[in-house]
């Protein structure tokens, strides 16, 4: 063996020890780490002829790059929808790299980690009160999950007119009905060749992001004769509004459509007995998107794509990897290779399995309800504040707000707030008006963090 690798392997104990110490150092100080780094410059290096080894690289990284790592897994990173990583999830993720399985077949020769992936899905269904009439598996994020669900929908749409889109290409005319689709749904439609212009915009209820059901039914009627895909939002990113899933699903009795639910983070409302009603009826979906790297607090790249088992054959025609036409029952000789976009697959289920096993139903109920309580606390402050006002009621775990006066100063306010590095938020647009968002997803966030944020917001306002 090349001497460098021999040394590395002999040194593994020291390497992993250093990585552990480094990790502890980062995680123990995460509460005080800045959520924003002003100086983002790095000195570009050249590829070394002779490498400096793992410990040398770790030293170099610590010296030059670690300072660029913001506290995005910390308690006050409220931009986008940013989850953290629980200890069990970190353990699972670390071991994923160690085990380094290529997770594909449940009956394959060699690697059978897909059996654990299937088991993880079963635990997840139990957590989310979903029946196991779905076939589910892990993908990199909710974007790929939306892509997967919509790819099977596309296959279904083609099949309605006897076309096998996966083989013949060109999906043809499809109507995609949606009220407030996430940008990644539009991106998925673009990637799938359906085209994001195929979205038939459904009106929303007054002051809401959720579908107006009368308009929805009207558009269902108008688009009869075209294959219809309905994209339901189970948690919009701005106001965490939910389409009325039960009412929409009930219309499947009278109209033919594919029901896709984007429940990227909102799906975890199912963990809370107080909020699980928001997902009533979601078991009737044809496909569901759920992110794990958001509210489940596992590290990035982790989401699941769920498609009803009755669509197994469509799913296999969409994602089949072999040249031979698929014969037999897809549930036998099951391989994720033929069900999901990727071929080689990381053992992504492991961090989720660790989390589900480590924290159970109660743990996730606590995470979800704690996030909601944090959002409510910030919302209560904003409602009584002289400087700010809510742009929408706090429906779940996101606070969407504005400056009360001098709204043109909002970008400046946000820039200054973020620059101070104690709390991070992101801008958005709600009903065409600019607004600010604070999303509560991280299990570490508590009342003390809300107090810090309020102090920061007040100080920035008084200096504005």
Provide, rounded to whole angstroms, the least separation between the CB of residue 184 and ligand PLP: 4
Please identify, using beta-carbon distances, which residue of 375 and 403 lies nearer to ligand PLP: 375
Residues 268/296, Cβ–Cβ less than 8 Å: yes
Residues 251/219, Cβ–Cβ less than 8 Å: no
269 backbone dihedrals φ, ψ, rounded to 5°: -60, -25
Q: Please report whether residue 267 would count as binding ligand PLP according to CB under 6 A.
A: no
Please identify, using beta-carbon distances, which residue of 316 and 425 lies nearer to ligand PLP: 425
Please identify, using beta-carbon distances, which residue of 165 and 186 lies nearer to ligand PLP: 186
Q: Please report whether residue 264 would count as binding ligand PLP according to CB under 6 A.
A: yes
Q: Which stretch binds ligand PLP (CB under 6 A): 49-57, 259-267, 322-330, 399-407?
A: 259-267
Q: CB under 8 Å to 222, separation ≥6 — which residues?
A: none
Chain centre to alpha carbon of residue 345: 18
Q: Which stretch binds ligand PLP (CB under 6 A): 4-12, 71-79, 258-266, 340-348?
A: 258-266
Distance CA 247, CA 286 (A): 15
Distance CA 145, CA 128 (A): 17
Among 113, 120, 143, 223, indicate the residue that binds ligand PLP (CB under 6 A): 143
Please identify, using beta-carbon distances, which residue of 265 and 381 lies nearer to ligand PLP: 265
3-state DSSP assignment of residue 447: helix
Helix (H) or strand (E) holding 290, with range, is: strand 287-291
Among 209, 243, 244, 262, indicate the residue that binds ligand PLP (CB under 6 A): 262
Provide, rounded to whole angstroms, the least separation between the CB of residue 79 and ligand PLP: 12
Q: Please report whether residue 348 would count as binding ligand PLP according to CB under 6 A.
A: no
42 by Cβ neighbours in 10 Å (0-12 / 13-18 / 19+) ranks as exposed
Q: Is 172 left (phi over 0), alpha (psi -120 to 50) or beta?
A: left
Distance CA 138, CA 121 (A): 9
Please identify, using beta-carbon distances, which residue of 300 and 366 lies nearer to ligand PLP: 300
Q: Please report whether residue 330 would count as binding ligand PLP according to CB under 6 A.
A: no
438 strand-pairing partners: 399
Q: Please report whether residue 105 would count as binding ligand PLP according to CB under 6 A.
A: no
3-state DSSP assignment of residue 46: coil
Distance CA 10, CA 258 (A): 56
Among 125, 265, 268, 339, indicate the residue that binds ligand PLP (CB under 6 A): 265
Distance CA 95, CA 104 (A): 18
x/- map, 202-241, ligand PLP, by CB under 6 A:
---------------------------------x-x----
Q: CB under 8 Å to 431, separation ≥6 — which residues?
A: none
Task: Tell me the longest C-alpha to C-alpha distance in the chain.
Answer: 71
Q: Please report whether residue 456 would count as binding ligand PLP according to CB under 6 A.
A: no
Q: Which stretch binds ligand PLP (CB under 6 A): 61-69, 262-270, 321-329, 385-393?
A: 262-270
Helices 312-319 and 142-160, axial angle in degrees (round to 10): 110
Range 299-328, binding ligand PLP (CB under 6 A): 303
Provide, rounded to whole angstroms, the least separation between the CB of residue 145 and ligand PLP: 7
Q: Which stretch binds ligand PLP (CB under 6 A): 37-45, 65-73, 102-110, 260-268?
A: 260-268
x/- map, 67-86, ligand PLP, by CB under 6 A:
--------------x-----
Among 291, 342, 365, 449, indicate the residue that binds ligand PLP (CB under 6 A): 291
- Write the DSSP string, 113-164: HHHHHHHHHHHHHHHTT--S-EEEEEESSHHHHHHHHHHHHHHHHHHHTT--
Q: Which stretch binds ligand PLP (CB under 6 A): 40-48, 135-143, 342-350, 383-391?
A: 135-143
Q: Please report whether residue 141 would count as binding ligand PLP according to CB under 6 A.
A: yes
Residues in contact with ligand PLP by the rule CB under 6 A: 81, 141-143, 146, 182, 184, 235, 237, 262, 264-265, 291, 303
């Amino acid at each position: 063996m090349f001497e460098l690798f021999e040394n590395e392997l002999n040194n593994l104990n020291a390497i992993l020890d250093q990585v552990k110490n480094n990790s502890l150092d980062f995680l123990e100080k995460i509460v005080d780490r800045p959520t924003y780094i002003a100086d983002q410059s790095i000195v570009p290096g050249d590829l070394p002829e002779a490498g400096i080894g793992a410990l040398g690289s770790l030293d170099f990284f610590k010296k030059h790059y670690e300072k660029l790592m913001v506290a995005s897994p910390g308690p006050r990173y409220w931009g986008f929808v940013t989850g953290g990583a629980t200890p069990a999830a970190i353990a699972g993720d670390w071991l994923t790299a160690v085990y380094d399985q290529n997770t594909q077949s449940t009956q394959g020769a060699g690697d059978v980690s897909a059996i654990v992936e299937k088991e993880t899905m079963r635990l997840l269904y139990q957590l989310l009160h979903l029946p196991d009439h779905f076939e589910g598996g892990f993908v990199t994020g909710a974007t790929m999950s939306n892509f997967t669900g919509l790819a099977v929908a596309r296959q279904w749409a083609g099949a309605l007119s006897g076309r096998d889109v996966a083989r013949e290409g060109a999906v043809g005319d499809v109507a995609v009905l949606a009220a407030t689709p996430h940008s990644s749904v539009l991106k998925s439609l673009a990637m799938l060749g359906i085209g994001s212009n195929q979205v038939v915009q459904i009106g929303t209820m007054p002051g809401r992001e959720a579908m107006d059901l009368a308009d929805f039914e009207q558009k269902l009627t108008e688009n009869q004769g075209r294959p219809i895909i309905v994209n339901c939002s189970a948690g919009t990113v701005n106001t965490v509004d939910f389409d009325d899933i039960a009412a929409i699903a009930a219309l499947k009795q009278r109209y033919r459509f594919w029901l896709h639910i984007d429940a990227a983070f909102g799906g975890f409302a199912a963990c809370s007995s107080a909020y699980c009603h928001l997902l009533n009826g979601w078991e009737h979906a044809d496909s569901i998107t759920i992110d794990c790297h958001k509210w489940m607090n596992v590290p990035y790249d982790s989401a699941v794509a769920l498609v009803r088992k009755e669509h197994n054959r469509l799913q296999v025609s969409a994602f089949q990897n072999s040249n031979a036409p698929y014969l037999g029952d897809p549930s036998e000789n099951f391989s994720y290779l033929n069900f999901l976009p990727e071929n080689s697959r990381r053992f992504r289920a492991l961090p989720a399995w660790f989390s589900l096993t480590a924290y159970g139903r109660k743990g996730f109920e606590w995470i979800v309800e704690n996030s909601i309580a944090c959002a409510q606390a910030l919302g209560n402050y904003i409602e009584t504040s002289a400087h700010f006002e809510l742009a929408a009621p706090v429906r779940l775990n996101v606070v969407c707000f504005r400056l009360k006066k001098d709204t043109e100063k909002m970008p400046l306010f946000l820039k200054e707030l973020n620059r101070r590095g104690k709390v991070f938020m992101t801008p958005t647009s709600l009903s065409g008006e600019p607004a600010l968002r604070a999303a509560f997803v991280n299990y570490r966030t508590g009342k003390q963090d809300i107090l810090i944020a309020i102090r920061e917001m007040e100080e920035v306002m008084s200096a504005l």
